[in-house]
Amino acid sequence: MREYILEVRNISKRRGGKVILDNVSFSVRRGEVFVILGPPGSGKTTLLKIIAGLEAQDLGDIVINGEVVNTFPPYMRNVAMVFETLALYTNMTVFENIASPLIAIKKDREYIEKRVREIASLLRIEQILDRRADKLSGGERQRVAIARALAKEADIYLLDEPFLNLDAKIRYALRTEFKKLKSIVGKTIILSTSDPHDALALGDRVLLVNNGRVIQEGVPVNIYKAPKSISIARYLTGNMVNEIFVARDSKGEITSNIGRDIYIDPRVLDTIVKFGRSSLILTNYIDSCIIDRHIVECDGVKIRGSFLGYEFRGSEYLVYARKEDFVFKSLSRKLASDLNIGDEVDVCLTRDGMLFFDGETGDFLG
Amino acid sequence: MILLVSVKLVNIVKKFGKVEALKGVSLHVLDGEFFSILGPSGCGKTTLLRIIAGLEKPTEGRVYFNEHDVTDLPAEARDVAMVFQFYALYPTSVFNNIALPLFSKKYSKSEVVKRVTEAARLVGLEKLLNVHVDKLSVVDKQRVALARAIAREPQIYLLDEPLTILDPVSRVIMRSELKRIQRELKQTVIYVTHDQIEALTLADRIAVMNFGVVEQIGSPHEVYNLPASTYVGWFLGEPGMNFVEVVVSKNGSILLGDNVIFQNQHIIKELVNRGLEKVLLGFRAENIVLSRDIVLRDLSREVVIDGVLRVVEFFGTHYVLDIESGGSEFKVKLNPSDFNSLGLRENDKVRAVISFDKVLFFHPDSGKRIPVGEKV
Amino acid sequence: MKKASTYSKALLQYRIKRYLRFALILLILIAYLIPVYEMFVLAFKSRTEMYSNYFIVAQPTLDNFKEAYEHGAYSAILNSVIVTAGGVSISLILALLASYAFSRYPVKGKNLLMFYILSTRMMPPIALIIPVYIMFFNLGLKGTYGGLVLAYAMMTLPLSVWMIKSFIDDVPVDIDQAALLDGHSTTYILFKIVFPMIAPGIAASAAFAAITVWNEFLFALLLSGIETKPTSVLLSSIRGERGFNWGRVAAIEVIYILPIIALIFWLQKYMLRGLTFGTVRK
């Protein structure tokens, strides 16, 4: 058995003069959950449709199970797809929707009955089989769309933004269901999403795209710990990162965008010098940042700022502090008592957990 | 002097055709309180707000402002100010936007100027009064909408998810502002949202709704740590509270599947006295300690569950693990360093320990919390 | 401080306004419906009662309906039905196929063609009478059902194409694509998936087309023969006898409008939806 069930080679596509996909290449292993992550409009849907054969690429090849399938029509490519819009047949019942791919290949009545019920119970929608597809809740419709794709018995499942517009709670539940389903069903799943949480939580491997180009590829934890550029770090966390810009002049003096009121631990200074760039961005995720009235020991970078506000999340607090135009965020279990907006606080970005990026290019250094 | 208004809803039922959007909601908002109505989209919270505002009439039930029955009164006569998610600003200066609604009330010119400047000061727009609204940032536009409401000096402020369109940082800033303004004005604010973080952060008390019904009203701490029902426990928190069905055995132990997980005689006797053979154990993902060892533990002070790790989800700042045991599943929240030091992989055996003061008991059929021990 | 009295004053004001609004609507409704009512009443009046007793019938009679039959009213109604049903059906079938093509396929010069189709409606029908009459006469279609049906099919085609195309446009392409992936043929997609989805739209288009044809007079007059003449033509030829028998005219009109009212009542739900162009919810 081949290791890679799908190979995407140098796919490019233009539409009306605009570049939709630019030289996209990647491979997907059999049985893995492969997530394509990118902001809306980055070409994810087009990429999936090209893999499915619903749209044609300008350049490049799609290889499924070792065969070049560029000329194959959709139903011969051994893929099933769940569309972002779900595309349920609203004039038919749930049963008829799920049965559709089986009807198309002319399976007999008995087989269809059995298979549809099997899949429906897997997704826990047996009780709505007789309902019309336009009379379902959002979560139910999602599951029917997935059921229809499962009924097709393809080797590759393409899901286009399957969690879009879902309530946070349902999204969470569906994600976990998904991961469990994957091991039961044993199929290869390619998912597109614009929510970094989906990618980090679900993906065995993640492909980051933007403006039709591949930006980074890898295992979630590794992308998180070593994002190729600072914009990736910002995107993955929804801008929940703390950044400090430092510059080194010709004399070797270090200045920062925060001003002079900053303490930098000697070991951090050494690292800055080691990288030898003229400017750097020091970045910490919110769990490696501490905000408190007074922080005595800080082994990274310490700043004095003012309290901006907080969020209470039930089990933890997200604390915001500001210095000049810059906002710092810290995740912690406790909140210093009686803090008012404008009170002076210390912000400490710990050394362990600090990422260094080039100040000009934004490239990852270490 | 500005009157402080309390709002009382008695058994509000609202039907749209055959659909019962509200099934008998009663609540009492104290004067000067920041009260939040929290629930998923479609649960009826906006309908409830509209009934308080007078934009909808309830099918049954009464609405009281300060003990006056205002149920039949239309919105214009109730003197409430609503701030929506999608405000509509007039294409003119900030000053005019805030002032326009006041003109119909026949205030003198000087009175209008006074109110507008005061409202602008409260929201921090005093320097931008002559600026055209098209030139403002989204945050400032929202401030104008707020100021417009404030200038009217209504009896009650009704806010319907006004901050969802803002980016996260602006949202935090506006939240702090809202809280500050409310404290200064000392007015009654009713704030509808589906965002639990907003409710937990801002409100004095929260009404948690579940499709037409209010399941609990309490302080943020109460609804989070002492949910009145499994719904409230599940809804609040990310991930929601875990619920595991266990067997209460008369010989003084609690079993999950075939294993004894808890043996506090005192508490178990209380459960048995209520005639319960099965009960739902509720505990939060962040209150679980995971380990790989199988050392003997004190089952009278801790709930100990041995299970298998099924799913690992990475969220950057933390991990959420799905553990399976005795046919049930629950989630554990761990920070990255703890997860890494455990070195767990899918299908590994693992032990979950929860201190018994972090465990709650719920009725297996109704889902209501059973007050046990000192926790009422 | 707000007192209870200010609340009750506001309440009273509000109630008065509401009743006034209701009264106004009632007035307008009555003004509209009086002529229709009159017509119904007239249909049951005998010749003697014709000019008296505005709103009531002292001695109701069915004579008018009998006379209408003798004068060929019922076969005229039948002709109207045949011509309308025939014309609308052909128009719908052609429109469905054309609209799907326009909506889904990259037809060269699509916009031009669509505009051309629309432009046919911009021309007053009367400008076409002479060429159409000559053409139909030469083809031997004058006086036949087929001729009139054909003419009406062509007449209602443009609007049907435009309406149905917009309904098909509302159906997301994803649905077609999902069906393609499932493995269905285009025919299956057309007839089993897309058309059922726009059924309300089709009903609305059919209703509008039917109304146009049912009431049409000009082409009916020119192209129909003695056997095939529809009711619109019949009604125009009813004068010139010993005085106008309004009762008989009214009777014919009553029977004339019944089918179309029935149709609209039956389809009103769809027509409303059709007007607002919202057949598929996402």
pLDDT in tens, A24-58: 999 999 888 999 999 888 889 999 999 999 999 99
Q: Look at B317 and A287 and tell me if their CB atoms are within 8 Å.
A: yes
- Mutate which of C2, C8, C12, C16 to disrupt the B interface (most B C-beta within 10 Å)? C2
CA–centroid distance for A6 within its chain: 20
pLDDT in tens, A172-212: 877 887 777 776 667 889 999 988 988 999 889 999 999 99
Q: Verify that A292 and A340 share a domain, yes or no.
A: yes
- Mutate which of B164, B167, B173, B358 to disrupt the A interface (most A C-beta within 10 Å)? B173
Q: Verify that A277 and A326 share a domain, yes or no.
A: yes
Per cent of chain C over pLDDT 70 is 90
* Containing structural domain, residue A326: 235-358
Q: What is the pLDDT confidence band of residue C241, given thresholds at 50, 70 and 90?
A: low
Whether residue A116 has pLDDT greater than 90: yes
Is residue B94 in some structural domain?
yes
Size of interface A-C (CB pairs under 8 A): 62
Identify the pLDDT of residue C242.
59
Q: Measured between CB atoms, which of B197, B313, B317 is closest to A286? A: B317
pLDDT in tens, A244-281: 888 887 776 778 887 777 888 888 888 888 888 888 88
Q: Verify that B295 and B322 share a domain, yes or no.
A: yes
Q: Verify that B151 and B273 share a domain, yes or no.
A: no
What does the pLDDT average to over B78-98?
82
Q: What is the CATH number of the domain that holds B211?
A: 3.40.50.300
Rg (CA), chain B: 25
Single residue among A204, A228, A252 that ends a domain in this structure = A228
More confident residue, A167 or C261: C261
Identify the pLDDT of residue A101.
92
Element (H, E) at A89: none
Contacts of B3 in chain C (CB under 8 A): 1-2
Q: Verify that B57 and B140 share a domain, yes or no.
A: yes
Identify the pLDDT of residue C7.
60
Q: Verify that A212 and A94 share a domain, yes or no.
A: yes
Is residue A363 in some structural domain?
no
Is residue A317 in some structural domain?
yes
DSSP per residue over A127-159, as a string?
Answer: GGTTSBGGG--HHHHHHHHHHHHHHT--SEEEE
Identify the pLDDT of residue C277.
53
Cα torsion through C214, C216, C219, C225, rounded to 10: 50
Single residue among A170, A203, A228 that ends a domain in this structure = A228
Q: Verify that B52 and B187 share a domain, yes or no.
A: yes
The number of C-alpha atoms within 13 Å of A191 and in the hemisphere containing its C-beta is 30
Quick check: C36 contacting A, CB < 8 Å? no
Q: Look at C10 and B74 and tell me if their CB atoms are within 8 Å.
A: yes
Nearest to A264, CA basis, from A329, A349, A325, A366: A349
Q: Look at A179 and B240 and tell me if their CB atoms are within 8 Å.
A: no
Is residue B322 in some structural domain?
yes
Q: Verify that A275 and A320 share a domain, yes or no.
A: yes
Which residue bears the tokens 């179309």?
A: C260
- Whole-angstrom distance, CA of residue C193 vs CA of residue A96: 11
Q: What is the pLDDT confidence band of residue B339, given thresholds at 50, 70 and 90?
A: very high
Q: Verify that B229 and B251 share a domain, yes or no.
A: no
Q: Verify that B108 and B14 share a domain, yes or no.
A: yes
Cβ neighbours of residue C146 under 8 Å, at least 6 residues apart?
none
Is residue B1 in some structural domain?
no
Element (H, E) at A312: strand A301-312
Give the number of domains in chain B: 2
User: Looking at B138-142, B222-226, C49-53, C264-268, which range is the least confident one?
Assistant: C49-53
- Mutate which of B222, B226, B315, B329 to disrupt the A interface (most A C-beta within 10 Å)? B315
Question: A185: distance to nearest CA of chain C, Å?
Answer: 19
Single residue among A228, A263, A296 that ends a domain in this structure = A228
Q: Verify that B150 and B72 share a domain, yes or no.
A: yes
Per cent of chain B over pLDDT 70 is 97
Q: Verify that B226 and B263 share a domain, yes or no.
A: no
- Whole-angstrom distance, CA of residue A332 vs CA of residue A319: 8
Is residue B2 in some structural domain?
no
Q: Verify that A121 and A147 share a domain, yes or no.
A: yes
Q: Look at C177 and A87 and tell me if their CB atoms are within 8 Å.
A: yes
- Whole-angstrom distance, CA of residue A7 vs CA of residue B344: 32
Size of interface A-B (CB pairs under 8 A): 92
Is residue B53 in some structural domain?
yes
Is residue A120 in some structural domain?
yes
Quick check: A173 contacting B, CB < 8 Å? no
Cβ neighbours of residue C80 under 8 Å, at least 6 residues apart?
C214, C230, C231, C232, C256, C259
Structure tokens at C128: 């076409």
Q: Verify that A219 and A240 share a domain, yes or no.
A: no
Q: Verify that A262 and A118 share a domain, yes or no.
A: no
Element (H, E) at A79: strand A79-82
* Containing structural domain, residue B361: 243-370
Single residue among B173, B199, B234 that ends a domain in this structure = B234
Single residue among B234, B265, B281 that ends a domain in this structure = B234
Give the number of domains in chain A: 2
Identify the pLDDT of residue C279.
44
Identify the pLDDT of residue B363.
92
Is residue B276 in some structural domain?
yes
Q: Verify that B77 and B163 share a domain, yes or no.
A: yes
Q: What is the CATH number of the domain that holds A100?
A: 3.40.50.300
Q: Verify that A100 and A216 share a domain, yes or no.
A: yes
Structure tokens at A190: 């390619």
Question: B119: distance to nearest CA of chain A, Å?
Answer: 20
Whether residue A123 has pLDDT greater than 60: yes
Nearest to B280, CA basis, from B320, B248, B235, B309: B248
Identify the pLDDT of residue C282.
33
Q: What is the pLDDT confidence band of residue A311, given thresholds at 50, 70 and 90?
A: confident
Region of residue C240 (phi > 0: left; psi between -120 and 50: alpha; otherwise: beta): left
Q: Verify that A198 and A256 share a domain, yes or no.
A: no
Instruction: Among A342-346, B63-67, C83-87, name the most confident range.
Output: C83-87
Q: Measured between CB atoms, which of A176, A202, A311 is closest to B197? A: A311
Chains that touch B (3 or more CB pairs under 8 A): A, C
More confident residue, A166 or A311: A311
Q: What is the pLDDT confidence band of residue C278, given thresholds at 50, 70 and 90?
A: very low
Identify the pLDDT of residue C223.
87
Q: Measured between CB atoms, which of C1, C7, C14 is closest to B70? A: C7
Identify the pLDDT of residue A88.
92
pLDDT in tens, C140-166: 888 888 888 998 998 899 889 988 998
Q: Verify that A197 and A278 share a domain, yes or no.
A: no
Give the nearest chain A residue to C173 (CA atoms): A87
Is residue B376 in some structural domain?
no
Q: Verify that B132 and B198 share a domain, yes or no.
A: yes
Q: What is the CATH number of the domain that holds A315?
A: 2.40.50.140
Q: Look at C178 and A81 and tell me if their CB atoms are within 8 Å.
A: yes
Q: Measured between CB atoms, which of A73, A83, A148 is closest to C174? A: A83
Q: What is the pLDDT confidence band of residue A229, given thresholds at 50, 70 and 90?
A: very high
Q: What is the CATH number of the domain that holds B300?
A: 2.40.50.100
DSSP per residue over B90-130, as a string?
Answer: -SSBHHHHHHHHHHTTT--HHHHHHHHHHHHHHHT-GGGTT
Q: Which ipTM value was assigned to this complex? A: 0.84
Q: Verify that B225 and B183 share a domain, yes or no.
A: yes
Whether residue A138 has pLDDT greater than 70: yes
Give the nearest chain A residue to C171 (CA atoms): A87
Is residue B84 in some structural domain?
yes
Identify the pLDDT of residue B217.
95
Whether residue A294 has pLDDT greater than 90: no
pLDDT averaged over chain B? 86
- Whole-angstrom distance, CA of residue A45 vs CA of residue A27: 17
Identify the pLDDT of residue B77.
78
Between the two ends of chain B, the Cα-to-Cα distance in Å is: 40
Q: Verify that A81 and A216 share a domain, yes or no.
A: yes
Q: Look at C182 and A100 and tell me if their CB atoms are within 8 Å.
A: yes
Single residue among B234, B259, B274 that ends a domain in this structure = B234
What does the pLDDT average to over B76-88?
79
More confident residue, B376 or C25: C25
Contacts of C184 in chain A (CB under 8 A): 100, 103-104
Q: Measured between CB atoms, which of C182, C196, C282 is closest to A152? A: C182
Q: Verify that A220 and A239 share a domain, yes or no.
A: no
Q: Verify that B325 and B191 share a domain, yes or no.
A: no
Identify the pLDDT of residue B376.
47
Identify the pLDDT of residue C5.
56
Whether residue C243 has pLDDT greater than 70: no
Quick check: C108 contacting A, CB < 8 Å? no
